[in-house]
Structure 1
Amino acid sequence: MTPDLPREVVALVNGGPPGTAILTSRALHYGDGVFRTLLRHEGRWLDFDRHYVKLVHDCRALELDPPHVGQLEAELEALGGGRAQPVVGKIILARAGGGRGYTPTTRQCDRILLRYPAPRFPASHWSEGVNAIRSTVMLAAQPRLAGVKHLNRLENVLAARGWPSGVQEALMCDAAGNLVCGTRSNLFWVEPGRLCTPKLAHCGVSGLMRARVLELARSLGLPVDSVEAPVERLRAAREAFITNSLIGLWPLRRFDDHDFGAPGTVSLRLQQGLAHPALLDSP
């Protein structure tokens, strides 16, 4: 444990305790890195292999050399926890080297790993759905970073503020008014004969649970389309849901003033197929 951290948080930097070198990290100064968040349940990091594939993809986008899978897995195991109660792990791969200036001088990564207590939510978030609003914060277009879970998340920070009571997510659009994602989730909705999700060609994060849902839907024979669509398409949908690697799948019960009557049949079918553990606030 690190004395300067909250007691319930455990951290490792390059396999050891954090030191003052983190103060000059390019992650801190420029957001020069990528990250993934994963759940440890019953002593196992869920979907670690899939998370690693995503990390490798995102590292390539920033011209970073990812660590070996075995090294990263061993350091995650060294964080411990997650047997009696689930915990959350965060993997940050930040470009190594300090000093001033934007220009990178290496492709090597520093490995920053953290362990947190898992969040807890009411069972109704899974069984009855959640409420979402449209954020007034627009996502900027940068095709070279589209889909990448990089460390620059200020748009999400801005969009996560000032929600009305009873709202669990804010959905974000690009400058053209097309749906992209939630502040912490990917979005899906059901139209006649198909499952739709935003295309993510210009911005947004391609989450691991999004990939799992797309794979599962195709295996169940559900046609899937990645689309560029305005908010009106969502309001006209039969049902909708959001996903991420901690919550799994939450049906959308309401979006702004539109009710979906959650959960829908497709949402339930996919939720059951994912079999993701629910982080209930009352076990």
Structure 2
Amino acid sequence: MSTYLKCWVNGELQATLSVADRGLHYGDGLFETMAVVEGAIPFWPRHLKRLRQGCARLGIEGLTPDRVLGDEIVQVCTGQERAIAKLIVTRGTGDRGYRSPSPQGAPTRILSLAPWPDHVDRVRRTGARLRYCDTTVSRHPTLAGIKHLNRLEQVLARQEWDSDFDEGLMCDNHGLVIEGTMSNLFAVSQGAIMTPDLSQCGVAGIVRNWVMEQAQAMEIPLEIGGVDPHRLTHADEIFVTNSIIGIVPVRQLADRDYLSGTTTKKFIDQFPY
């Protein structure tokens, strides 16, 4: 049974699309998962910017103008106290084969609304329990940073546990921690924060970028680089981020327990929702 409240395809209230859509055949597209809070999406400009950057990277042309997308977002969010909006953009329909249609037709946009998940309030209150995943993240600098539709690595990683943990950390084939299956990672050591380098793989999250901006504004030292499990074991604090959970302290990773410390709290206190 679907958990979606409503779905719009190319601006029309419906839940069907062409079987020739390249998003279905090849994962040829991008998506944004966004928090709806009190009838609006707090980070909508950031989501839109990342979406357009991803379209440019993949060469998806003809995305709907900002004004039209904004109007559709307003329509979806109006009257919603808390919900999740998801916007998918594919290259549209095409014939068989990997080669992009020439000329390209109009992209397909799918906008859906889903209920706010119950677990968000719990993990914000209690902290998250994390594990390491056996499934790794492939290095692909061309796709690094963008939120493309190819998520099979995350699907396989998420199948590794049931309900004992809230999130799983994924490493690359060099053993460096890159991200969670659905979140970005920060560690705190002696008041400074570090986060994995995403130039080779991983998703550059909206809240991750917000945290880095806040760190600069609050003059908190920030390191972007290689993070291996050893560094996390010896970190003072760890927290994970995404657009739905916001900023969540980690209370357990593998065999070690962590406290939600003062540095993590500084970011939580500044977070807008």
- TM over 0.5, shorter chain: yes
- The secondary structure found in structure 2 opposite 1:237 is coil
Corresponding residue number in structure 2 for 1:236: 234
For residue 45 of structure 1, the aligned residue among 27, 41, 54 is 41
Cα distance 1:164–1:257, how it changes in 2: closer, same or farther (>3 A)? farther
Structure 1 gap ranges (5+): 277-283
- Does 1:11 pair with 2:7? yes
- Determine helix, strand or coil for the equivalent of 2:142: helix
CA contact 1:185–1:207 (8 Å) conserved in 2: yes
Of 204, 208, 211, which aligns to 1:210? 208
Alignment correspondent of 2:222: 224
Deviations 1:90-143 (A, max 9, x none): 011100222211000127421111111111226452233111000000111110
Aligned to 1:266: 263
Task: Please tell me whether the aligned partners of residues 38 and 89 of structure 1 are also in contact (alpha carbons under 8 angstroms).
Answer: yes
Give the residue type in structure 2 aligned to 1:23.
V
2:83 is matched with 87
SS in 2 for 1:44: coil
Distance 1:159 1:258, change over 3 A: same
Residue 163 of structure 1, aligned match among 149, 156, 161:
161
**Residue 117 of structure 2 aligns to a residue in which SS?**
coil
Structure 2: 5+ residue runs without aligned partners? Answer: none
Summarize the alignment of residues 1-283 of structure 1 with structure 2, pairs less than 5 Å apart. Answer: 6=2, 8-18=4-14, 21-65=17-61, 66-80=63-77, 82-83=79-80, 85-105=81-101, 106=104, 108-121=106-119, 123-163=121-161, 165-261=163-259, 263-276=260-273
Distance 1:165 1:93, change over 3 A: closer
AA paired with 1:213?
V
C-alpha contact 1:64 1:108 (8 A) present in aligned 2: no
Superposed CA RMSD in Å reads 1.8
Answer with 207-216 or 164-173: which moved more.
164-173
Conservation of the 8 A alpha-carbon contact between 1:217 and 1:224? yes
Q: Give CA deviations for 1:179-224 in whole Å, capped at 9, x if unaligned.
A: 1000000000012342100001111101101011111111111011
Aligned to 1:280: none
Contact 1:243 1:249 in 2 (8 A): yes
**Residue type of the alignment partner of 1:274:** F
For the Cα contact (< 8 Å) 1:134–1:171, is it kept in 2? yes
**Is this contact kept in 2: 1:64–1:107, CA < 8 A?**
no
Q: Distance in 1 between matches of 2:4 and 2:163?
A: 28
Q: TM-score, normalised by structure 2?
A: 0.93
Q: Per the alignment, do residues 123 and 55 of structure 1 end up closer, same or farther by CA in structure 2, a change over 3 Å counting?
A: closer
Q: How many pairs are equivalent?
A: 270
Paired with 1:143 and 1:107, the residues of 2 have a C-alpha distance of 27
> Does the aligned pair in 2 maintain the 1:41–1:82 contact within 8 Å?
no
Are the structure 2 counterparts of residues 264 and 107 from structure 1 closer, same or farther at C-alpha, using a change threshold of 3 Å? farther
